[in-house]
Amino acid sequence: MEHLQFSDKLCEYSNWRTQLSNTIERFQGWRKRYNLEDANSAQTISIILQGLSQDRITLAFVAEFSRGKTELINALFFAESGVRLLPSSPGRTTMCPAELFFDEEGGNYIRLIEIETRCEDVPFVQLKQDVDRWTQINLDCENPLQMQAAFKELIAVKRVPRQTAIALGLFDEKEAAEQGIVNPETVEIPRWRHALISFPHSLLKAGLAILDTPGLNALGSEPELTLSMLPSAHAIVFVLAADTGVTKSDLNMWNNHVCRATNSSKQGLAIVMNKIDAMWDDLDKDGYDHSIQSQVAASAEALGIVEKLIFPVSAKQALLAKIKNDEGLLERSRINALEAYLSEGIINQRQKIMVD
């Protein structure tokens, strides 16, 4: 199939990076052999090699609940597993921010930290380095079903007293009252604050890292996400739903978090208008295309961006098409255009930065 544009481009970039490192190491050896080394240039070369070895391309996926963000991640990167690897279903799914990467030394695992650590006066970057504070679930990478079951822990919840939920920033009494919920004794909250996930997927081994964020509430109550993680990502993928367009909460997230993280430059940014399959009309294809284009135009105007940055897709149908090897359904899902943009725009941009 021709749809693995992003995969192919990332592997090509990984090979380029490896060849560049090998060339620099040979140059370094040549300098030593002919006594041409000096302390300053040796340190410079060492820093370059370290940067190449630790290089990752980080994509941050940002969306309000029920936009199909996790399904999009499944469709883009993990379809070859043959299952819906990350938990995705109607309603709230991802409950805690999750980072996916490959940790060659640490092995294959999911590490989770309790939600109560939000109340501790400890920088989150410090908590990430304290492995003993995290609950670890080992992953069997030869068994996709075991991995699928393990990933369901990402959506684990528990009930706590209302005051505890308020202290954790997970219950807004005014917002609850608007929904008819007044002074509940207990509140359902996520069990985990953050997840670190490592396994040897080919793209993760090639240097891809994924940040999956679970909605406006998490972005508002986790300063580390907005002050460090989102701005350091090489691209932000902001996900909307085609059947709702840009809602008030979408616009809030866009203005207060996405634009700030990208410094309003709109570089390294893609807006995905997901769930276009909800608009499919086999009896009126022209009307269907017109409806999608109208929604794209309206969304672009609401966000203040050009239309070419908005990619209408059906992540659900793209995942199904890749698993079933159905070219027709894949084309109808329109995910190829998004993959091409990520390949050419994001990876090429990263390569130019490394060259500089």
Amino acid present at 134 = W
pLDDT for residue 263? 66
How many Å apart are CA 296 and CA 273, to the nearest integer?
Answer: 8
How many Å apart are CA 214 and CA 65, to the nearest integer?
Answer: 7
pLDDT for residue 175? 77
Chain segment 185-222, per-residue pLDDT in tens: 999 888 999 999 999 988 899 899 999 987 766 666 77
Concatenate the DSSP letters of all residues of 197-229 into one string: EE---HHHHTTEEEEE---HHHHHH-HHIIIII
The stretch 285-307 carries a mean pLDDT of: 91
Count of all residues that appear for the chain in the document: 356
Report whether 171 contacts 162 (CB < 8 A): yes
SS3 66: coil
Amino acid present at 288 = Y
Chain segment 7-60, per-residue pLDDT in tens: 888 889 999 999 999 999 999 999 999 999 888 999 999 999 998 988 889 999
Strand-pair partners of 245: 241
Chain segment 127-142, per-residue pLDDT in tens: 999 999 999 999 998 8
pLDDT at 281 exceeding the cut of 80: no
Backbone angles phi, psi at 109, to 5 degrees: -160, 165
Kindly state the helix (H) or strand (E) to which residue 133 belongs, with its residue range: none
Chain segment 160-177, per-residue pLDDT in tens: 999 998 888 888 788 778
Chain segment 33-48, per-residue pLDDT in tens: 999 988 899 999 999 9
Backbone angles phi, psi at 129, to 5 degrees: -85, -10
Q: Which of 15, 225, 204, 6 is nearest to 108 (CA)?
A: 204
